[in-house]
Structure 1
Amino acid sequence: MTIETASIGILQKAVEKLADGYSHLPAHTTEYDQQKAEEILLQVAEKMWDNYPYPHPQYAGQMLKPPHPVARMAYMLATWINPNNHALDGGKASSAMEKEAVAKIATMYGWNDYLGHLTGGGTLANLEALWVANHIHPGKTVLASSQAHYTHNRICGVLQIPFEPVAVDDQARMDLTDLETKLQQLDVGTVVVTLGTTGVGSVDPLPEILKLQKKYGFRIHIDSAYGGYYTLADNLTTEVRAAYDAIQQADSVVVDPHKHGLQPYGCGCVLFRDPQVGRYYKHDSPYTYFSSDELHLGEISLECSRAGAAAVALWATLEMFPLVPKGNFATDLSHCREAALALYARLNNDSRFITPLEPDLDIVIWAPKATSTSEISRLSQLTFERAEQQDLYLATFSYPSHLIKKTFPDVYVDSDYTTCVRSCLMKPEHASWGDRIWQILDKIQHNLK
């Protein structure tokens, strides 16, 4: 794998520019053993070889998208100051950058009057959304699809809120019949709607869930940690497009810039349609909020100390890649989906494979065809292992066997779950690397036993 190095020279110029802003202060330099530091860094570089090549197009496994060089450089530049975005006296410039960046994300969903901020990741962002939801509907049940991220069940345990999963349909989307049954049977306060499940990338039917909201009066939280930016793509199906267009009507939204947003870990974002939910965060701090009458981000966040560098990196990235339809960022997302559709089409048209569902976004799951679910699982695991030997890095996913049976009725179900092969085609380059990836898969399949 070729490591990008041109950014090192750009970063050098940026660091020198940063230093100019503090040239009026008395001279001071940090003293350290540079030779020892170099020796240690070289050891670190060698230890880092023990990673999969995440930035390379032949890494097509988990949702690990490399940060853009501009994000990486901006993050690193900010660490020379190391701002803390809890209070303005700890991160004045980076707090302003965060507010600007979050406003651009909110505008992407059609929100101009809102409350929101960055978080350390999607888990904290979802926790805040459900924490606020519980203030509005205290003690009421939270529902999410059985394919939603496990974090919702876990968060409800932490917050001591009742949680119930909702069944999914043949496309691994929230089943509306089961949802309404649970709405009738339970005291439901919030329904978590997933726009892009992390397992298979399925998009829940938000427009229909909004209709049920009018009838039953629950709160809607959108977990689009993985799929949120896909609202900008121009090649979604009509059904999926309708779900994204309806986000504006939801009560809260979570999206992770460190997934499709080209950011280093960790960078999540939570948004609330009603700015008045800020009252639930109100607290006093005797030593952090005195420096300015402006809003301190710590006043609307459960987290305290938080890396200002994440905000700086996101701001820089949005300057380079505005969140607009047909822009470079949006076009790259469409290329990711093109890559997924192309791989799905090849697999679906090849009798050696089964394809449980057509991708809604850029995640594809498939498996070698076999007579039983246990044999499918064995061959999927073997495919995963053989691919790595050919420098193609995939992932596996446990899919409910009853859903496999619905799609392929001839299969004998002898296990509750079936291991499938899973690929997150999150790099726009995957659209042009499809032939090479397919050649490796075809070679593996010829020798699979």
Structure 2
Amino acid sequence: MAIESEFSILNEVIDRLQNDFQHSFTVETDLEEVSVILNEVADRMMDNYPYFDTNYAGQMLKPPHPVSRLAYMLAMYFNPNNHALDGGRASSQMEKEAVAKIAEMFGWTVHLGHLTGGGTMANMEALWVAKKEHPDKMVVASNMAHYTHQRISDVLGIKYQSIRTDQLGRMSAQALEQVLTSNDVGTVVVTLGTTGTGSIDPLSEILELQKKYDFRIHIDSAYGGYFGLANNLNDYGAQQYSLIHQADSIVIDPHKHGLQPYGCGCILFKDPKMGAHYKHDSPYTYFSSAELHLGEISLECSRPGAAAVALWATMQLFPLEKNGKFSAGLESCIKAARKLSALIKSDNRFQLVMEPELDIVVWAPTGKSLSEISKASTSIFEKAAAADVHLALIKIPTTLLSEVWNDVKKDQEYVTCLRSCLMKFEHLDWVDEIWRVIQSSMP
């Protein structure tokens, strides 16, 4: 959709809304002065990588869908606050409906949940509830889990321990059980799609351990949560996603694969009784309705209702269902990762670190030592960027390197590798061009 068409739709809907609502959105201002400032903003924004472009295949950045962008802008004429219902009546209802659909995607028809400013805040609420449920027990997560879990545990005063991973970047169930025997673990964080390598923790094995050791399971699927809709996961991945409904809490970020602007995260609890931990009163906000105010089940107070409006609108266009156009987009991301991996394996100048399980590919040029490989990776990263193909870098510890790296001199504790998040639905059509630039960027 062309930008001109987007604004044509927005102007048309704003005109109708203003006429029907019978209140003016007009704010007196000097438009010439605003124009000068906006042009300065545009000049400043040029100091960016083209995150929205298919040639950007580096970090986890993708543009919101036009329907999300337009719905967000439309909602900003009201600027609703989804803390209390009288601050965001329509947007609060849209949030409840959107969150319920996300919960249904995970197999929950009964749940407690709401949107957050992002995955960090969502995970904080999950671990805060974990501490309320098991005040004296610790939280564990894999050493490839997002660093936010250790940081949040420190903020909340929770004892934390990381669990080693195998060479596929998955939590080791054996290492986990060694820690569980202490009977000091209250919550195990299971990552379905690590942000570094896209690895999927063995939820099936961890659920078996739960029967023996009785702990809570929190699933951090901030990055990978939507991939349960895809039909082309490998057998292992499909099995883990099929069990996600057995978790106690789940985090997902619609602002990653859900086509939303930052920040839009989501926290879900299977047991609505977890809402008792949030119980509080506010003498001037929770009076306008007997219905649940979202602020009553959230650690955050003011929250942008526009984020809920944008998410609701997007989910009308892209329902969360298998065999739909949204799931097809996710499947194309997986195909893109597999295609790039096949090209890497076909060229003996490169080597994969591990086969991609979702849409993240990690690889490196070959070399005699880890320091030599790290230097070459950085050179490719810089040369590709100069050719307008943007990758990312990641430090992989030697413990994750498979036997194919045995002949490489381990002269440092990690190796800097190249990394691509092929998370745009259109990336599949651009893999060949991205690969061409990568090959031409070899030192």
Mark yes or no: TM-score above 0.5: yes
State the match for 2:14 in structure 1.
15
Q: Aligned partner of 1:249: which letter? A: Q
Secondary structure at 1:185 match in 2: coil
**Partners in 1 of 2:311 and 2:373 — Cα distance?**
42
1:25-54 deviation line (CA, Å, top 9, x unaligned): 5x6731101000011001111110100001
**Partners in 1 of 2:119 and 2:174 — Cα distance?**
28
Q: Aligned partner of 1:354: which letter? A: Q
The 8 Å contact of residues 405 and 413 in structure 1, kept in 2 or not, is answered as: no
Q: Aligned partner of 2:275: which letter? A: G
Correspondence 1:274-423 to 2 at 5 A: 274-404=271-401, 406-423=403-420
**Partners in 1 of 2:15 and 2:376 — Cα distance?**
55
Correspondence 1:155-174 to 2 at 5 A: 155-174=152-171
Instruction: State percent identity of aligned pairs.
Output: 58
* Greater mean alpha carbon deviation, residues 276-285 or residues 405-414: 405-414
* TM-score, with length taken from structure 2: 0.98
1:198-233 deviation line (CA, Å, top 9, x unaligned): 000000010110000000001000000000000001
Q: 1:375 to 1:271 in 2, by over 3 A?
A: same
* Greater mean alpha carbon deviation, residues 67-76 or residues 2-11: 2-11
**Partners in 2 of 1:216 and 1:99 — Cα distance?**
34
Secondary structure at 1:66 match in 2: coil
Q: Aligned partner of 1:34: which letter? A: L
State the match for 1:111 in structure 2.
108
Secondary structure at 2:140 match in 1: strand
Q: Aligned partner of 2:253: which letter? A: D
Correspondence 1:41-80 to 2 at 5 A: 41-80=38-77
Q: Aligned partner of 2:16: which letter? A: K
Confirm whether residue 145 of structure 1 aligns to residue 123 of structure 2.
no
**Partners in 2 of 1:296 and 1:43 — Cα distance?**
40
Cα deviation for residue 18 of structure 1 reads 1.9
Confirm whether residue 94 of structure 1 aligns to residue 91 of structure 2.
yes
Match of 1:35 among 14, 32, 40: 32
Cα deviation for residue 405 of structure 1 reads 5.1
State the match for 1:187 in structure 2.
184
Secondary structure at 1:94 match in 2: helix
State the match for 1:229 in structure 2.
226
Cα deviation for residue 22 of structure 1 reads 2.2
**Partners in 2 of 1:107 and 1:165 — Cα distance?**
31
Task: Extract unaligned runs of 5+ from structure 2.
Answer: none
Q: Structure 1 stretches (4+) deviating beyond 4 angstroms?
A: none
State the match for 2:238 in structure 1.
241
Cα deviation for residue 16 of structure 1 reads 1.2
Q: Aligned partner of 1:395: which letter? A: A
Q: How many matched pairs?
A: 443
Secondary structure at 2:267 match in 1: strand
Secondary structure at 2:266 match in 1: strand
The 8 Å contact of residues 143 and 166 in structure 1, kept in 2 or not, is answered as: yes
Correspondence 1:407-446 to 2 at 5 A: 407-445=404-442
Correspondence 1:180-219 to 2 at 5 A: 180-185=177-182, 187-219=184-216
Secondary structure at 1:118 match in 2: strand
**Partners in 2 of 1:273 and 1:114 — Cα distance?**
5
**Partners in 2 of 1:105 and 1:147 — Cα distance?**
25
The 8 Å contact of residues 18 and 25 in structure 2, kept in 1 or not, is answered as: no
Secondary structure at 1:111 match in 2: coil
Task: Extract unaligned runs of 5+ from structure 1.
Answer: none
* Greater mean alpha carbon deviation, residues 211-220 or residues 3-12: 3-12
The 8 Å contact of residues 167 and 399 in structure 2, kept in 1 or not, is answered as: no
The 8 Å contact of residues 170 and 406 in structure 1, kept in 2 or not, is answered as: no
* Greater mean alpha carbon deviation, residues 406-415 or residues 420-429: 406-415
Cα deviation for residue 348 of structure 1 reads 1.5
The 8 Å contact of residues 353 and 402 in structure 2, kept in 1 or not, is answered as: no
The 8 Å contact of residues 356 and 407 in structure 1, kept in 2 or not, is answered as: no
1:128-184 deviation line (CA, Å, top 9, x unaligned): 001001111112110000000000000000000000000000100001111110111
Cα deviation for residue 85 of structure 1 reads 0.0
RMSD: 1.2
* TM-score, with length taken from structure 1: 0.97
Cα deviation for residue 3 of structure 1 reads 7.4
**Partners in 2 of 1:208 and 1:403 — Cα distance?**
20
The 8 Å contact of residues 405 and 411 in structure 1, kept in 2 or not, is answered as: no
**Partners in 2 of 1:402 and 1:209 — Cα distance?**
22
1:75-130 deviation line (CA, Å, top 9, x unaligned): 01100000000000000000000000001000000100110000000000000001
**Partners in 2 of 1:238 and 1:29 — Cα distance?**
56
The 8 Å contact of residues 54 and 426 in structure 2, kept in 1 or not, is answered as: yes
Q: Aligned partner of 1:174: which letter? A: M
